[in-house]
Structure 1
Amino acid sequence: MDRFKQIDKIVKLLLIKRERALTEHEQETLNDWVNESEGNHALYDDLMDETKIPRKLDDLVQFDQQKAFREFERVAKQTKVRKLYRNAFKYAAILIPFVIASWLIIQQNREVKETPIATVVSEIGPGSSKAILKLADGSVVDLEVKKDLIADLDGIVVQNGPKEILYSSQETPQKHEEIQYNEIQIPRGGEYLLILSDSTKVWLNSETSIKYPVAFASNVREVYLQNGEAFFDVKKNKNSPFIVHTSKMAINVLGTSFNIRAYSDEPELTTTLITGKVSIKQLDSDQSSNLLPNQQASLSATGIAIKNVDVNKYIAWKNGRILFEDNTLEEIFKDLSRWYDIDVEFKKPASRQLRFSVDVERYENLSQVLDILELTKKADFNIVENTIIVN
């Protein structure tokens, strides 16, 4: 039985080796088997030899498996040769896995050759700095294309750089009865840095939309996070509180840094405080709460819940990291799908609840992340066009 287990393991390693580099332990196991005998060494070289694949394919296609097995059974039943064929059967059983391995290797080569061009995928790269700006007059600017000066609005100069858009006051803004608003939308696979007219910095994650004044009023600064995720580093001004409005809560601050995650397709809205102090008010009730550094407020259907957290996990995206700690695969791919602009298909519902921890640079190709996930042996992934299939 141990021999069969070893053979099964070797077959799996042979197939894995054709898909990716083996780990140090896997390669050591395969080397031990190869070096056991000259026969093993010859069989390994044969299975790995691409030039012999066409001949193997021809032999396999012409082989009548059912006819051969019927003949084997007939001969094995003859009394005089029963012992001989018991031995033959033993060795045949040992060779069967390698026949299967050969067939699978040939099949893999055939599938590669027959794969339609539409499913051949180049490396899926990370997101980049891209955004759409909607001005107060309704005109739309693609910030990935339009650089440098965009507008001069009543003393506020709007400048766009490679990764950020800056609103700066060159003179005292003119007073208007109606505040003019701009809006920035970040698409899937995008991010951007917004610097408001009071020097507050707002990092915007993928699939985020924010509405804000070109110039703030003197007594209050209000912005509207309509959807998505944003990290705020608010410029301190005791005479002008800063308020972030979302669909379900308002966050009131003076000078502080915090992260808000408010995606409309997620059940919870979270605010994570890094420095300073904020007050959170639930819009459809009188409930309000204060947050201290390293605390997070989660708003769900049951109300506001506050807990202590490691803030690095929640602001890793802003710091150029992809960081998950014991998250479900469904949670992980929800973020990855936004950043890499991909779709995800789970073959088995149970796969959604598998848990993983990942820490990798945010600007790595998607394959780097998938390789880390596959090292756990809990799941493997196929890429078809722009869809990740979770097996």
Structure 2
Amino acid sequence: MINQKIKKLIIKYVTDSLLDNEADILLKWLDFSKNRLLFKDYIQTNYAINYNLNDFDTNHIKKKLLSKIRKDKSIYYKYKLNTVFKYAALLIVFIGLGYTYQQGYFGNKTKHSKLNIPNEAITLQLDNGEIKILNEEKTSKVKDETGNILGTQNKTKLIYNANDTNRQSFVYNTLFVPYGKKFEIQLSEGTTVFLNSGTTFKYPVEFLEGKDRLVYVEGEAFFEVEKDEEHPFIVNANDINIRVLGTKFNVSSYKEDMSINTVLVEGAVNLYDKESTYSTKTAIVLKPGYKATWNKSNNEALIEKVDVKLYSAWIDGKIVFRHMAFNEIIKILERHYNVDIVNNNKVLGDKFFTANFDIESIDQVLKSFNENHSIAYSIENNQVIIN
């Protein structure tokens, strides 16, 4: 898994804003083969680029990068990237990383040539790879590559049209919600999904007759599933599948977390390993008012009764902690406020806190923690340093 610091460096690399010292940190991290695989997977998931890292030469990369850094050591690299496509091309020229488009993912490449994606933009990626920026202040029609209207975006909600065609194969769209943002989507068959900060959600623009309603989520989402007994709704959340007919539940499945949490509000859900075939005999049955914590390391689940309201409060912009270690709280604060938190206070990291926040700024939140446990912190730009 990629920690928050490295993830932010990768994003800054993609957007051409790495400082020279940050580039050195990222390159040292890439020295390890497992990290190169994580890098490749992260880029694939968020930017639809597939890197061939078999011949990855770290020394060659560092030499090329640092050579460029010296030309403007005081601030940033001077390459202006307008698209993810140009970023991939830059990697080929300067750091020797080959790239290929995911098969069938990119259609007309010229559609990407003028797209400059801000770090904090909510984006919609069409089935052909075209990326659209969703303006949270506007209402607009969402169209596919041929101009067909798929649905309507009304500020922070995207509503897909009801199934009205006879498609023979699934056509997928992918929504990405960055840190500090939230979004809502209504799928073509009526299911509503609330997406929390730092979430990627992949789904069909239409569901097919006789086929399961399969969607993919990485991050956190709250589902209100439209009941359809003939077409089970299945959520793939990294290591597990969550199978339902019609229900309300929350799933938290961030890559950097050690577990996948599923909280059932109403209805019924079955959980099973994504590599296994679904069976009522082996699947874990979750009842309303209970949480299943799936341990990624051993593929075992812990079931416990919880207050379900605590796990859906984020939909209304609230963050709630109940006897939670500060190291875990940091992850939530980073996502909610879109900040990078460096905690140098090891004792504080293991302390447990109970707190509720609503409209408070990150500074106000830290002051609140300071009332219970004296801490020294500083905030500069989007970075918080705790000593």
| Superposition TM-score, scaled by structure 1 size | 0.62
3-state DSSP class of the match of 1:306?
Answer: strand
Q: Pick from 344, 349, 354 the counterpart of residue 352 of structure 1.
A: 349
Determine the structure 1 residue equivalent to 2:368.
Answer: 372
Q: Distance in 2 between matches of 1:143 and 1:378?
A: 41
Deviation at 1:325, TM superposition (A): 1.2
Deviation at 1:221, TM superposition (A): 4.1
Q: Distance in 1 between matches of 2:269 and 2:178?
A: 29
Which structure is higher in helix share?
A: 1
Determine the structure 2 residue equivalent to 1:148.
Answer: 140
Determine the structure 1 residue equivalent to 2:241.
Answer: 250
CA RMSD of aligned residues (A): 2.1
Q: Pick from 377, 381, 384 the counterpart of residue 381 of structure 1.
A: 377
Deviation at 1:297, TM superposition (A): 1.0
Q: Distance in 1 between matches of 2:220 and 2:287?
A: 20
Q: Pick from 137, 148, 173 the counterpart of residue 128 of structure 2.
A: 137
1:318 matches 2:315: yes
Q: Distance in 1 between matches of 2:178 and 2:212?
A: 26
Q: Distance in 1 between matches of 2:149 and 2:265?
A: 30
Q: Deviations over 1:134-186 (max 9, x none)?
A: 012221111126631121689763111111111022xx522122211111011
Query: What is the identity, as a one-letter code, of the residue corresponding to 1:345?
Result: V
Deviation at 1:285, TM superposition (A): 5.0
CA contact (8 A) 2:204 2:215 kept: no
Query: What is the identity, as a one-letter code, of the residue corresponding to 2:305?
Result: N
Q: Deviations over 1:87-144 (max 9, x none)?
A: xxxxxxxxxxxxxxxxxxxxxxxxxxxxxxxxxxxxxxxxxx9521001222111112
| Superposition TM-score, scaled by structure 2 size | 0.63
> Matched residues, percent identical?
30
CA contact (8 A) 1:326 1:355 kept: yes
CA contact (8 A) 1:156 1:173 kept: no
Determine the structure 1 residue equivalent to 2:290.
Answer: 295
Greater CA radius of gyration, 1 or 2?
1
Q: Distance in 1 between matches of 2:124 and 2:365?
A: 31
Q: Pick from 167, 170, 177 the counterpart of residue 168 of structure 2.
A: 177
Deviates more, 1:279-288 or 1:242-251: 279-288
Alignment length (residue pairs): 260
CA contact (8 A) 1:155 1:174 kept: no
Q: Distance in 1 between matches of 2:143 and 2:213?
A: 22
CA contact (8 A) 1:156 1:197 kept: no
Q: Deviations over 1:60-103 (max 9, x none)?
A: xxxxxxxxxxxxxxxxxxxxxxxxxxxxxxxxxxxxxxxxxxxx
Higher relative contact order (CA 8 A, sep 6+): 1
CA contact (8 A) 1:227 1:262 kept: yes
3-state DSSP class of the match of 1:375?
Answer: helix
Stretches of structure 1 that go unaligned for 5 or more consecutive residues are 1-128
CA contact (8 A) 1:222 1:245 kept: no
Determine the structure 2 residue equivalent to 1:270.
Answer: 261
Q: Distance in 2 between matches of 1:367 and 1:219?
A: 52
Deviation at 1:291, TM superposition (A): 0.5
Determine the structure 2 residue equivalent to 1:11.
Answer: none
Deviates more, 1:237-246 or 1:205-214: 237-246
